[in-house]
Amino acid sequence: MKVPILLLLACLPLLPACQESTTNTLQGYVEGEYVHLAAPFAGTLQTLAVQRGAQVKQGDPAFTLEQQNETAARQGATDRLHAAEAQLADLQSGKRPQELQVIRAQLTQAQAAAQLSATELQRVERLVKGRFISSDQLDTARTNDKLNQAKITELQAQLSVAELAARPDALKVAEANVAAARATLQQADWQLAQKTVTATRNGLVNDTYYQQGEWVPAGSPVLSILPPENRKVRFFIPEPQLGSLQTGQTVQVSCDGCGDSIPMKISYISPQAEYTPPVIYSKDSREKLVVMVEAEPNAADATRLKVGQPVDVTP
């Protein structure tokens, strides 16, 4: 039976599709897993250091939010720490140097007075022994000498106490205040640092979501980065052929402008079947169940792929 020429002409545009259906080639597309950069605190976007399409390296400046509140909080924490440290140092050192000088001067005067009274006592004793004066004067001299010696003992005790640090319980309280102030300063430093965000990965700046001067809510991504190794291929296999693929298996991926086919390893096979997604334009497979499969290239080959690019996958 001969086929009419008009029917053959009508089939010519469909020959590539007919040929593909006879091969084991599967259809898919390139997917990207983006890294979103955000700050844990809200604020006005002050600087945006990158633009869409730029290549960034890990550690490069990405964006900065206004920092007035955090800067003031850090200054307050610094002042409180200095005050707590000064209080602790004062308790550890005892009296101030000026107070110690006063006590030492009083002790010197008392020692001089005691020396003078001792000399006077010896003179009175000789006079009483020679019966030049009465014994009452001897009692007075002895009393003065004892008072001066007692004054020396008192001032020496005061000086010893003044040179001591504060009581242990007071020192513990002061040390705890210093530790709390230091922790508050560390927290203020961390909060201030969170307002400046750097790139966490090498890659391409895929998109920016805010402009300078706009308010950025806490945790809202300001930009997204696509690391070169974060590209993968997602394709669909008819459910009856699912048994022919397994995780870790190598497939060959080809696309327009990619050059030689790219070997990739299957990293994920969906546990559920679904109907053919709209992105797969195949009348033969429409309304049939397929299973989504993902495959990942090595880092060197990943840069040859563009997100959204259609590909052909050969198991």
- Report the DSSP pairing between strands 223-226 and 203-208: antiparallel
161 band by pLDDT with thresholds 50, 70 and 90 = low
- Phi, psi torsion values for 131, nearest 5 degrees: 60, 35
Helix (H, G, I), strand (E, B) or coil at 238: strand
Residue 166 has what pLDDT?
A: 53
Residue 64 has what pLDDT?
A: 97
Residue 23 has what pLDDT?
A: 54
Long-range contacts made by residues 304-309, C-beta under 8 angstroms, separation at least 24?
Answer: 304/258, 304/259, 304/262, 305/30, 305/231, 305/233, 305/255, 305/258, 305/262, 306/30, 307/30, 307/31, 307/32, 307/226, 307/231, 308/29, 308/30, 309/29, 309/30, 309/255, 309/256
Give the integer Cα–Cα distance in Å for 5 and 9: 6
Higher pLDDT, 185 or 118: 185
Give the integer Cα–Cα distance in Å for 40 and 306: 31
Residue 95 has what pLDDT?
A: 57
Does pLDDT of 286 surpass 60?
A: no
Residue located via tokens 């700046």: 205
Helix (H, G, I), strand (E, B) or coil at 99: helix
Q: What is the mean pLDDT of residues 179-202?
A: 95
Question: Which is nearest to 241 in space by CA: 26, 42, 58?
Answer: 26
Give the integer Cα–Cα distance in Å for 244 and 27: 16
pTM higher than 0.75 for the full model?
no
Question: Which is nearest to 219 in space by CA: 38, 62, 47, 43?
Answer: 38
Q: Is 216 exposed, middle or buried (0-12, 13-18, 19+ CB in 10 A)?
A: buried
For residue range 29-38, list pLDDT tens digits in order: 999 999 999 9
Do 218 and 45 meet the contact criterion of CB atoms below 8 Å apart?
A: no
Residue 14 has what pLDDT?
A: 41
Residue 13 has what pLDDT?
A: 43
